[in-house]
Chain A
Amino acid sequence: MDKLGTLKLINVGLTLAGAPLFAPLTIDVSADTVTTIMGPSGCGKSSLLAHICGTLPPIFATSGRVELNGVDLAGVAPERRRTGILFQDALLFPHMSVGENLAFGLPAARDGRKARHARVETALAEAGLDGMANRDPATLSGGQQARVAVMRTLLSNPAALLLDEPFSKLDAELRARFRRFVFDHAKARGVPTLLVTHDPNDAEAAGGPIIELTLG
């Protein structure tokens, strides 16, 4: 993994039906920080992340450049961008076990089934979920599901991590712990991380640059 990976937004703007959602945005998200974007709901925060992932519906018009590790992402298929994203909901695949969910994130590689299995077990242990590989995700608590979702994304070896208000559904105590968990893991792997939130506490905990989205 490129330890010095960066995610760059250069003059990025989104327009819906001719109306810009926010003023063009230029950000450098470096590998050792969590950068936070704040703004009221409906200002296009989530759409910006979808744009970075390449999953923005075509009704939006876009301008500017998104670069990941120096490569322009325009025209790159979402599955080739290596932009991991976490949403409010854990979105574990309901038909797979916890272990299968994690293995789904692992890239197919030459390492055999045993090695994959071991990596899944390690990830579970890191998330404090030892031995839960065969569990039904629906039987996990909200906090446990959220941690599985994080590990699944990290196992896919993302070049950037996008967080779309992933803490907002958790209660206060769980929230602080889970935030720590995500930030620590992101920093440990040196993945540039972009957090979108409307909660000032999240931004403060992220400890990185804070950008206020202003309406365009």
Chain B
Amino acid sequence: MLRAFPTAAVFVFLVPVLTGLTATVFPAFGLQPGLDDWSFDFGAWRDLAATPGIGRSIRLSLTTGIGATMISLLLVFSFIASSYDRPGFARARKFLSPVLAIPHAAMAIGLAFLVAPSGWIARAISPWATGWTQPPDAMLVQDSAGLALIIGLVVKETPFLFLITLSALSQANMDRRMSVARSLGYGPIIGWVKCILPVIYGPLRLPIYAVLAFSLSVVDMALILAPTTPPPLAVQVFAWARDPDLAMKFQAAAGAILQLGLVASAIALWSCAARMVAWGCRPFLSNGRRGGSGRLAAIIPGSGFVLLFTAAAAGIASMAVWAVTWRWRYPDVLPSTWSITNIQRHGPDLFAPAGVSILVALLAAGIALALVLGSLEHERRRSLTLGRWVMWLLYTPMLVPQIGFLFGFQILLIRTDLDGTLSAIVWTHLLFVLPYVFLALGDNYRAFDERLAVTAQTLGVGPNRIFWTIRLPILMRPILIAFAIAFAVSVAQYLPTVFAGAGRWETLTTEAVTLASGGDRRITGLFALIQALLPLVVFAAAAGLPAWLYRNRRAMQVAHG
């Protein structure tokens, strides 16, 4: 019975990715499964190459994707190296989960509200500093270099990399290693770079590749923040895939394969560069240079983090302000007329998409949790140790660009009459939710004090009852946090909803992305605000519930967090 869980989990993963990829490859070469036409045709590729601006699209994808990944990673490493023993470190940890929980689309909308020519930042410094009484005709959002997109990606990816690095650090015994390095006279930054970074880079490789792949192929954030003429490759492919002209499907498939190639090359490039840096820096490790106190150098990453959290908070705040705005003249810092009319008028429109978002997220998170708990319990009972391939498998949906296989997977859903059904949406969400649940829960589950289970067993209680009465209640906190992460990941999904839902299901995310391209900031703000608040509320509940249930159990409050 329990053996079915890992099998089911692998099935959930591999079927959409493998079949989706296959179903993308065929049309890219002119092959139409079912039409019995088995002649290769490179027409789609010729069309692709002839697309005006395709070169710029590719370059834009590469610069924004690689740029955002490098900035995020440098920010995380330099912040931890310079602040690991300072109070700012603990504070950053606290703010991490909320920023991580905010969906990409909402974050992008919030940032656009801040940095647009008519946004909050421009208003705050106008007209006294800029002389602007009209929004300037400058592309501050959707700028042709993709800077706005890079900023958006950095704000979302830095917390993720920070969290992953923290977990790698706890396994690498950072505090003890650093005490040794410091007692040998090394400054915090040089000591960290020489003693910690080389140890943790290995386990960080896959998450970094995932960030790279995501940044190179992001669609929802790019629709809001990236330039449109031409857009990044993934957005271009997405537009072709949605084109009602069936002939465009072949070009879309070819574009999806190109996107795959782009991600694969970027990962290969990154991996080569990392090896070369490691090789080139070998002598640096033992050259005896101790480095200084690093207090001055700490200012840059420190303020980077402050800026990042401030931008996230201000973005949310600006959405909230817009939601209750009636009239807001430029360049006033605040609206001149506040009103809840907007909420009264458009609030009811929220119910249906919010309902779908919540339903899909509850189902996806619930199924993911059941699959992961079942697999972990199976692994434990059989004393299995998972090989490295499991980690690669887990990261597959995050490494393969969504557009690369969702397009093909949709073709299969259509053929099996599943497209546009709730099950299809939940399944595609599950694909992206499951890895996070596994990553969030795995270590906690394996770190469970087995002596408690042995004690229960010698008291005459069987493994199944131990699972329900001992293991789950004691692990309630990490389990609920994993559930909240899963919920947030599902709520944020854009492409999977669009592809699997065949446009028939509107969620808060699809609505917010659609509204963002429209004009009315009051409605966009309202939808994006609710989209951002939903996962935050679930996170608060996930943290609050065990704290309340176990308010009279001291050992449950810290030790088992």
Contacts and interface: CB of A to CB of B under 8 A. Distances in A.
Interface residues of B, number: 27
A90 B303 CA distance: 47
A53 B454 contact: yes
A22 interface: no
A82 interface: yes
Nearest to B549: A95
Contact of B455 (A58, A91, A137): A91
Interface in B512-561: 550, 552-556, 559-560
B459 A93 contact: no
A107 to B, nearest CB: 6
Given A87-B451, A87-B455, A94 B462 contact: no
Contacts of B456: 93, 104
B457 interface: yes
Contacts of B473: 95
A136 interface: yes
Given A80-B460, A82-B460, A138-B553, A95 B383 contact: no
Interface in A79-118: 79-85, 87, 89, 91, 93-95, 97, 104-105, 107
Contacts of B474: 93-95
B555 A138 contact: yes
A1 to B, nearest CB: 14
A99 to B, nearest CB: 13
A147 to B, nearest CB: 15
Contacts of B476: 95
Interface string B450-475: 01101111111111000001100110
Contact of A77 (B451, B462, B560): B462
A55 interface: yes
Contacts of B554: 136, 138-139
Interface string A141-183: 0000000000011001010000000000000000000000000
B459 A105 contact: yes
Nearest to A82: B460
B446 to A, nearest CB: 14
By CB atoms of chain B within 10 A, which of A77, A79, A81, A94 has the most? Answer: A94
Q: Main SS of the interface on chain B? A: helix
A168 to B, nearest CB: 15
A78 B459 contact: no
A156 B457 CA distance: 11
A94 B553 contact: yes
Nearest to B466: A79
A26 B42 CA distance: 79
A204 to B, nearest CB: 27
A95 B475 CA distance: 10
B458 A94 contact: no
Contacts of A70: none
Nearest to A91: B455
A136 B553 contact: yes
- Residue from A50, A80, A93, A97 whose CB has the most chain B CB atoms within 10 Å: A93
Contact of B550 (A57, A95, A104, A158): A95
A78 B457 contact: yes
B553 A91 contact: no
A144 B557 CA distance: 21
B555 to A, nearest CB: 4
Interface string B50-62: 0000000000000
Contacts of A85: 454-455, 458
B459 A84 contact: yes
B424 to A, nearest CB: 39
Nearest to A158: B458
Contact of B458 (A58, A81, A95, A137): A81
A107 B470 contact: no
A138 to B, nearest CB: 4
A91 B452 contact: yes
Contacts of A156: 458-460
Contacts of A107: 460
Contacts of A58: 383
Given A57-B383, A85-B455, A91-B452, A137 B460 contact: no
A89 B474 CA distance: 17
A58 to B, nearest CB: 6
Contacts of A80: 460
A136 B550 CA distance: 10
B454 to A, nearest CB: 5
Contacts of B461: 79, 104
Most buried by B among A91, A95, A139, A156: A95
Contacts of A158: 458
Nearest to B459: A156
Interface in A16-48: none
Interface string A55-89: 10110000000000000000001111111110101
Nearest to A152: B459
B460 to A, nearest CB: 5
A49 to B, nearest CB: 10
7 contacts: A79-B460, A81-B458, A94-B556, A94-B559, A95-B553, A136-B552, A136-B553
Interface of A: 50, 53, 55, 57-58, 77-85, 87, 89, 91, 93-95, 97, 104-105, 107, 136-139, 152-153, 156, 158
Given A89-B451, A94-B474, A97-B552, 11 more contacts: A53-B458, A55-B454, A77-B462, A78-B458, A83-B458, A85-B458, A94-B559, A95-B476, A104-B461, A156-B459, A156-B460
The 10 closest A-B pairs by CB, nearest first: A94-B555, A138-B554, A138-B555, A156-B459, A78-B457, A95-B473, A85-B458, A105-B459, A91-B455, A79-B462
